[in-house]
Chains A and B, each alone.
Chain A
């Protein structure tokens, strides 16, 4: 079931939280929603899940509009809100039963679904405990279990791994990946590594506007443009190497790396590669080239570029 967001705008008073955002998520796709705090991630998710209405534009889930038929849309969505609100005074199984009933899971299946969720989300030892007695990580699992209990076609997860320990994070990521093979998943995060590890596609949103849309690799390339390599050259004078490198025609900038004596970061001019030239230079001068590594721009930097300069 696909989710399409069309020219969505939402403002709180005079402040625009989301401005004219459009994107489409297909079945079997896991999309990561990235952005600094207050960028509009949560607002967009709240509109998709029918918690609030848009000012302009529309969201369609499987072709059904959230404005004209929210009841039908809500049936197909599993939602884990950012704050993960739960009825804390209820025991885990009772709570899951309540959610299953209200999600119209057939009576005969409720028991099985609860047991399945308890085992999938690793809640076996906690299922009879009151939710308020659980740690934050376990509460997060309960939140995830309630979002999954009716086997929804679309899963909206607002920062699903917050509060989990590293092992749990890995487990939950695997779970999301597994679910994402058949379902449509939209998750938000500001942990880039997480989005990169789980998502097929990344949407970066800043100040209510969509600033990037693509895979992690394509975003990197898009932002990179210039080739950067780290080279270590031994058996030569540092300053001489520096001068010679700068003399190469394809090189725009050479940086001495502060913590090494013989390592340099070399940035080529746009659309040029200087790796061959560096090698030939070393061969000519009798220097030993011990390292030449392309420096990949980290997604963090891409993210910073997109969200700060904009």
Chain B
């Protein structure tokens, strides 16, 4: 655990030192703030004291931002050779991967925490469903963790950050959109399987304030699969380097 935290600290520091974190936070707040308060089907248009529109926007903006955060995590280490430093220190591949995962997750956590004033503002306007807000945030966190784990996997495959970014988006878009679209446009067991695989379905049910162990299990499986994939790629690379 200690080793994981040491790696997490270093990653977090490098996010903030490289301005990556600030760019991410400013862009995310600007983007989600703009669409939540000013433009489109914003909070005032909905006429309800709810953060649904914010969650809907974050659902998309995080989808694009997360691969940008994760793309360098392993690809850059492989490119600059610093992975050799890390691997020859007394840490396991799992610890390296978990450390990086945690760093990206904490960065997203900080970003989302900065939107908490939205909640207080809306709560001041009218009667807000507190548990729906809580579940919405929880949903965003689970979704972020899933995409971080996919992004980490993409980053482990290549030494090129742009490739890692695109691969993460490519894998992500299936969960984000395609499974849902195909699943709802056809029928049968295959469609329901795709419907189950669609991340949007699970996120929406959470954002509505419904907590279901099925949804949580779904997110946890994606996170685990992504991390496992990363581990396999890393340990194969070390074995055959």
Contacts and interface: CB of A to CB of B under 8 A. Distances in A.
Do A and B associate with each other?
yes
A88 B77 CA distance: 11
A53 B18 CA distance: 34
B14 interface: yes
B90 A53 contact: no
B214 interface: no
Given A46-B241, A89-B18, A98-B10, A83 B81 contact: yes
A52 B80 CA distance: 17
Contact of A89 (B14, B88, B241): B14
A51 B84 contact: yes
Contacts of B6: 98, 101-102
Contacts of B3: 102
A89 B10 CA distance: 11
Contacts of A87: 10, 14, 82
Nearest to A79: B88
Contacts of A146: 85
Given A49-B88, A74-B90, A102-B90, A85 B80 contact: yes
Contacts of A72: 90
Contacts of A77: 88
B4 to A, nearest CB: 10
A64 interface: no
A86 B82 contact: yes
Interface in A95-111: 98-99, 101-104
Given A51-B238, A90-B13, 18 more contacts: A50-B87, A51-B88, A52-B238, A71-B91, A71-B92, A74-B88, A79-B88, A81-B85, A81-B88, A85-B80, A85-B81, A89-B14, A89-B18, A99-B85, A99-B89, A101-B6, A102-B6, A102-B7
B84 A81 contact: yes
A101 B154 CA distance: 28
Interface in A8-52: 46, 49-52
A295 B89 CA distance: 47
B82 A103 contact: no
B7 to A, nearest CB: 7
A133 to B, nearest CB: 14
Contacts of B212: none
A103 B239 contact: no
A280 to B, nearest CB: 63
Nearest to A74: B90
14 contacts: A49-B88, A51-B87, A52-B240, A53-B238, A74-B89, A74-B90, A75-B90, A85-B80, A85-B84, A86-B82, A87-B82, A98-B10, A99-B89, A103-B90
Complex A-B, nearest 6 residue pairs according to Cβ-Cβ distance, in ascending order: A85-B81, A74-B90, A85-B82, A52-B241, A49-B88, A101-B6
Interface of A: 46, 49-53, 71-72, 74-75, 77, 79, 81, 83, 85-90, 94, 98-99, 101-104, 146
Interface residues of B, number: 25
A77 to B, nearest CB: 7
B91 A102 contact: yes
Contacts of B87: 50-51
A234 to B, nearest CB: 60
B90 A52 contact: no
Interface in B1-23: 3, 6-7, 9-10, 13-14, 17-18
B127 to A, nearest CB: 48
Interface of B: 3, 6-7, 9-10, 13-14, 17-18, 80-85, 87-92, 238-241
Nearest to B85: A85
A104 B90 contact: yes
A135 B88 CA distance: 25
A89 B81 CA distance: 14
A170 B238 CA distance: 35
B85 A50 contact: no
Contact of B241 (A51, A85, A88): A51
A85 B86 CA distance: 10
Nearest to B10: A98
Contacts of A85: 80-85
Contacts of A104: 90
B90 A81 contact: no
A138 B52 CA distance: 55
B221 to A, nearest CB: 28
Contacts of B241: 46, 51-52
Nearest to B86: A102
A133 B118 CA distance: 42
B90 A71 contact: yes
Nearest to A86: B82
Given A46-B241, A81-B84, A89 B17 contact: yes
Contacts of B14: 87, 89-90
Nearest to B238: A52
Nearest to B18: A89
A75 B90 CA distance: 6
